[in-house]
Every structure is written in C-alpha cells, then in structure tokens.
Structure 1
C-alpha cells in the first residue's frame, strides 16, 4: 500500500460513519487539527500569562523581554536539529514528545507562579525549554499535514489546518486575558499544560502509513547539508526564504515596537491597538476560508502578490491613521498572509521530496524567528536616529521592494499547481541540477506566519 493509498483508505473509512464531515477529512487529519486547535488555544493565552507572571513577580519590561527572548533563542539553536530528527523518526512521535516537554515545562512554570515568587532565571529556563520543544515540533508538523490527506485535497486541508490554528489563537488570546484577570496567570499556565497533555494523547492515536525509508548511516550534519542543498537548488525557494527572513523581521518590529507607541500617542492607547490586532486575526480566518475554495493555478505568483498588502499596516501607522483605517489595513494584511501561506505550503509539499520535508521546513522556520529579535532590538535605535515615522515608512518600503524583487524569479511566476492525481502540470525549475551547497553555509527560513 502506498502512502497515497493509505490516506485514501483512512478517508474512505470515515466517509461511511455518517458524520457530517467531508470524505477527505479522515481520522488522522481530524486528530491533527483538533490537537493543533487545543495547543493554539492554550498557547495564545499562555504567552500573555507568562508576561504577567514576570510583571507580578516584580519584573520590569526588560525582564519580560528576557523571558520572551529565551524562548526564541532556544528555537533558533535547536530548529535545524529538530528538522533532521523529524525526517529520521515518525513525525507524529516527535510531535508527541514535544507536546510532553511543553506540558511538563508549563506545569512547572504554573506551580512556581502559584506557589509564590518565581525567579527570573527559573522563568527564563522553563520558557526556553518550551522553545526547544517547539523547535522539534514545528518542522515535524510541517512535514505531517499532507501525510494525513489525499494530495487532491491538499489545498483544502492546509486551509482548514491554518483556519483552526488562527481561530484558536484569536479565541485563546481573548479567553486568556479574561482568565488572567479573574484567576491570575498561574492558572492559565496550568490550563495550557493540560492542553499540551491532551494534544499529546490525541497525536499518539494517529496511525500514519508512510512509504518505507531506507536505513540511513549519515550523521545529522550530513543530513542538514542535504536539506540545505535542497533549498539552494531552487531559486524560487531560497528567494522567498531570504525575502521572508527580512519581511517577517521588519513587520514584527513595526507591530511589536512601533504599534503600541503610535497607539498611545495618537489612537487612544491599548484598546484601539488591540482592536487593530483583532482585525488582523479576523483577516487570517477570512483568508483561510477563502483558500478552502480558491485554487489559483500559479500558487506562488498569487501568494507573492499577496505579500504586498503586508506593507499597509506600517504605512497606516506612519500616517497615524484613524483606528478604523488601521484596522482595515490590518484585516487586509491578515487575508493576504493566508493567501501566501497556503500557496507556500502547497508549493513545498508539491516540489520537495517527502523524506526531506522536515529539514527544509527547519530552514523555513529558522528564517521566521532568527532575524526578528535583531530587528526588534534595532527598532528603538532606528527610531532615535531617523524618527519613528521614517522608520515605519522604511518597513513598508522594505516589504514592497523585496516582494517586487522575488517576482523577478521565473520559478515564482511559472510554478503551477499539480493535478489532483499528483502529476505536475508545470514545475518551472524541476529540471534544474542540484546546486552544491556553499561550505559552511547556513540557510535562512521563510516565515510560516502562523
């Protein structure tokens, strides 16, 4: 039985149960989506709870940043190793192990907060443990989605998967804020730990049949080099990787650093800024619903065109636009993010060999996190040197220029969606020879934007 046959077998069994679900959404896919919904629901609130735990213990804004940076630093350190491990082992087992580590670290964090006065180093270490676990989870997750559905329904599956994640993130942030106000951050962290444990149990029930892989005698470093060669052998791939390594960083800095400052000075404070952020979240949900039905033939071209609206929020902040206009820009940006994200995921799963998927995704994820802390650290000095308005315009211009440059790549414009039976209609660079990786090179990854 081939992997595609296994996926069809899984969905055909579910079609006969009488449940009001599409036939392609089989047991494995339902387990994967449900587990992702639970962890995103709890994780969104837990991020807020961690910040308030630091503040309630007497920490400063710098201390909040240290705890947040600990998670990002751990992800950067372990992402490439996580990608290699996820290509060696069954991906669902890697995800279960990661969920267990997250459950334990969040439970310990919750106990410290509920017991009294946690120290800064304790909170930073536990947050870093969660970041390290995420470094193994994310590449495995990227490589597993298509293993749970037939390739003919990949677009719908990706859209539903991201729709569940984004919807949970919106609801989790709102619910987490309310629970923190009512019960304190410790209990929210405890609920998140329980959510990770439940998700681990759901993912442990997955039974993904995959094509047998030959035994490998190569070390992790050799396998990472193999993944790097896969990245640099396709200009559309490394071009978008480089593009989003920068785009994700400047957009993140604009919204995390400049956004609250502009809101305080011109919009009325945290309330209006929260409304604008909520509009972005709603946009991602609408974008996910759109991509369930829309199947653009040139997925990378359409997706890359969708990156241009990501320059709108920075421009609206530079102009100190009224809240309704800023929220509209954030909404449009959220829709555009999903158009790109689904097209990008489809392109990766269509063009990258299944046994290489997690390693390529590791480079992808590395770009989404590696440069963001640097951009945030430089945001303040840039505003001091050039002015906040000029810095925001610089963010918008950077997004537009890099996106226009990526459109010059033939592969981005020409790569086409495969037929439902898996036959590629046109893959602009499929015939290109593999490019030998530069010695000592380290790849940058494209942001998943989830």
Structure 2
C-alpha cells in the first residue's frame, strides 16, 4: 500500500510543484473560456448561433489537424519549450479575442484566426504534457503524480465554471477572455521556469515529419491494449458527447426542471472527479488496463437513469459515479502509457490516442438532435448507455487489455527496465 504522506511528498519537489501549478492555472483558463467565448460572441451586434459555430469550428479544426504534428514536435524538441509555446499560443489567441470584443472591431475572419491560434496551441501543449510528466516525476511515483495533476485540473474545472460565468455576468465576455489569456500566459511562464535537462531527442539522424508519424504509428499500433482502448473510446466519446452536449440538457428541460437540474448533474460529475483522486492515489492494480476498462461500465449509469426517467437525486448520484470512474481511468491510463511507451515516442503515441479517442465526438453532437426527433430523447439516452456497454465489453475481449501487468515495485524503480509491446 502507498501512503498519502509518501504521495504528497511530491509537492515538495520544485519541478513538480511548478508543473502542477502551470497545469492547474492552464485548466482554470480553459474552464473560463467556454462561457466567456459563447456569450461574448453571441452578444456581438448581429451575431447568431451560426457566428458562434464558425468561431468554435475555427478553434476545433486546427486542434484536430495539428495534434499529430504536435506529437512529432514534442518528441523532437525539448517538451518544456513545446508546452510553453502551446500555452503562449493559447494566450495570444484569447488575448486577441478579448481585444476584439472589448474594442468592438470583430470581423468574423479575425475572430476565426484568433480562435485557430488557441486550437493550435492546444495541439502542441497536450502531447508535450503527457511526455513531460515522466521527465519530472520519478518512475515509481508516476501514478501519484498523475493523480495530483488530475486533482488540480478537476478543481480548476469546477472553480472555472463558477468564476467564468460570474466574470461574464459582472464584466462581460471580453474581460473574461482576457483573464483566460492571462492564465495561459502565467502557465507558460511557470513551464519556462522548470529548467529541465535538454535531453538528446534532437540529436542523431534527422527524419521527415512523415517518417516520425510512421514511427509513432508503429509504436501505437504494436500495443494491442492501446489501440483497442482508443477504439473503445472513439465510440464512447461519441455517445458521451451526444448525451452531455444535447440529449441530457434536452431531457433536463423537458422533464427535470431545466438548467438547475442539469447544473446539479454537472456538479455531481465534477465532485466525483475530485473524489476519484483519493481512490486513484490508493489503487495499485496488477492489471491496470483491465481495471481501467472495467471502470468504463458504470459510466453508462447516468445515461441509463436519464433514459429511465429516474428521480433527479439518482441521476446526480449516477453522474458522481461517472466522475469517479473517469478520473481513476485517466490516472491508470496515463500512468501505464508513460511506463510502457518509450520516452522518445510518448508524445506521438499520445497524439494518436487523442485523435482516435475524439474523432467521432462531433458525429455524436451532429446526430443527437435527429435521434431525439426520430426515436425520442429518453430512448436515445438509453442508446448512449448501450453503446458505452457494448464498446467496453468488446474491449474486454482483447488479451492485451486483460493481461498487461504493472511492474512490481522493485521493477518500477529500475530505470533500465525493458519496455515490451503487448
């Protein structure tokens, strides 16, 4: 068993404290931005839902297009610099959006360019973050490090949802976006202070981007447990996007009492993610991916309860369970990837993970409204629950998922341990 005192000792490490602070502040900035951007754009003269859609698309598409490039860059260059560049690009994008909203000069093309900068920044920062954690955290304390980073991120999401909305109400979307940009700038500055050793990833023979992508794909596809779970999540995220983005709010409006009920659902989920940190700090399964995938089964519960017309307290409890399970899954998944994937390929594998997991999400958002009209909102929510269960059960058929074992404590502390594909 691992004691909390031992795990919390990471907070005394200067480099980890800087990384934790940077990540927490960056997520707080990202939690500010959805409300600020949505209401800031919609309050512009002549703006419509289509205007907001164009800006959000301009932000999302570059992130998807550049995520694989971000993985290549983070594996080639010092990840500290790549992550810092990503944070500063996001800061530039949000400062630009804030300046346009505050001055009233808001051509749609300019709004789209600023939003695209933030999307490219995300594509650079996320793969670099996955790879930089093992450079900061000792191998035997990776799970604790990931859990503590998750705690900071989850707390920021809860705080940002409240503070961001309040800032928009009191001061307007432009100032809220400026605060978001300042948070990204602070995060980039903290990352610059890490002062990690330069490493040797840029040394040796030079390769083209396509060669690096091919090598990263080889590392990704040679590990059955990775590509099977990513395929599972591509379907799960599609169902979750439909349930969270469209169907859940719709059923809340139709039969649960409106926005207050859906806010209670989201609050239950957020509290669950924070509670999940305590569990993820203590849980050390010998088969981490098997346990992580099994934890995906209860995530279908809130959608089943919504579809079954359950009372609100039960639905909120289901959302709490979803939050706990997803938090523990995330810590086990990140820790296992960081242990099993060679450091020189980790950011590229992470970028393939992100791309594969998210690629069907927009489809879920797109078809949710039509499904509700054709089959009914409750029936569509039950369909989301069924998709989650079927995708998870299919992933459990994989020997790689079932059989991958975590290293024993003496192996986890051995930097010369050989990493094998499963």
TM-score (ref. length: structure 2): 0.93
- C-alpha distance in 1, partners of 2:153/2:75? 23
1:41 aligns with 2:28: yes
Q: Which residue of 1 aligns with 2:140?
A: 152
1:196-215 pair list within 5 angstroms: 196-209=184-197, 211-213=199-201, 214-215=203-204
Which one of the candidate residues 366, 374, 377 is aligned to 1:385?
A: 374
1:282-293 pair list within 5 angstroms: 282-293=271-282
Deviation at 1:358, TM superposition (A): 0.3
8 Å contact from structure 2 (residues 238, 364) kept in 1? yes
- C-alpha distance in 2, partners of 1:239/1:288? 25
Residues 361/23 of structure 1: CA separation in 2 closer, same or farther (3 Å cut): closer
- C-alpha distance in 1, partners of 2:255/2:109? 37
Bigger drift between 214-223 and 356-365 goes to: 214-223
Q: Which residue of 2 aligns with 1:87?
A: 75
- C-alpha distance in 2, partners of 1:275/1:328? 10
Residues 431/64 of structure 1: CA separation in 2 closer, same or farther (3 Å cut): closer
- C-alpha distance in 1, partners of 2:412/2:153? 30
1:13-412 pair list within 5 angstroms: 22=9, 25-57=12-44, 58-116=46-104, 118-209=106-197, 211-213=199-201, 214-412=203-401
8 Å contact from structure 1 (residues 249, 375) kept in 2? yes
Bigger drift between 201-210 and 332-341 goes to: 201-210
8 Å contact from structure 1 (residues 95, 203) kept in 2? yes
8 Å contact from structure 1 (residues 155, 342) kept in 2? yes
Residues 342/23 of structure 1: CA separation in 2 closer, same or farther (3 Å cut): closer
Q: Which residue of 1 aligns with 2:420?
A: 430
In structure 1, runs of 5+ residues without a counterpart are 1-14, 433-450
Deviation at 1:63, TM superposition (A): 2.8
8 Å contact from structure 1 (residues 72, 369) kept in 2? no
In structure 2, runs of 5+ residues without a counterpart are 1-5
- C-alpha distance in 1, partners of 2:49/2:100? 20
- 1:401-439 CA deviation, whole Å, 9 max, x = no partner? 1101111111211111113344599x9x9366xxxxxxx
Deviation at 1:72, TM superposition (A): 1.6
- 1:207-239 CA deviation, whole Å, 9 max, x = no partner? 223653442321010110111111111211110
- C-alpha distance in 1, partners of 2:279/2:355? 28
Deviation at 1:321, TM superposition (A): 2.4
Deviation at 1:137, TM superposition (A): 0.7
CA RMSD between the two structures = 2.1
TM-score (ref. length: structure 1): 0.87
Deviation at 1:24, TM superposition (A): 6.9
- 1:190-213 CA deviation, whole Å, 9 max, x = no partner? 111111111111100112236534
- C-alpha distance in 2, partners of 1:21/1:410? 35
1:417 aligns with 2:406: yes
Deviation at 1:379, TM superposition (A): 1.4
Deviation at 1:271, TM superposition (A): 1.2
Deviation at 1:41, TM superposition (A): 1.1
8 Å contact from structure 1 (residues 36, 164) kept in 2? yes
Deviation at 1:300, TM superposition (A): 0.8
8 Å contact from structure 1 (residues 262, 320) kept in 2? no
- Structure (1 or 2) with the greater helix fraction: 2
Residues 403/25 of structure 1: CA separation in 2 closer, same or farther (3 Å cut): farther
8 Å contact from structure 2 (residues 92, 117) kept in 1? no
Q: Which residue of 2 aligns with 1:436?
A: none
Q: Residue 354 of structure 2 aligns to a residue in which SS?
A: helix
8 Å contact from structure 2 (residues 288, 336) kept in 1? yes
- C-alpha distance in 2, partners of 1:394/1:424? 45
- C-alpha distance in 1, partners of 2:390/2:146? 28
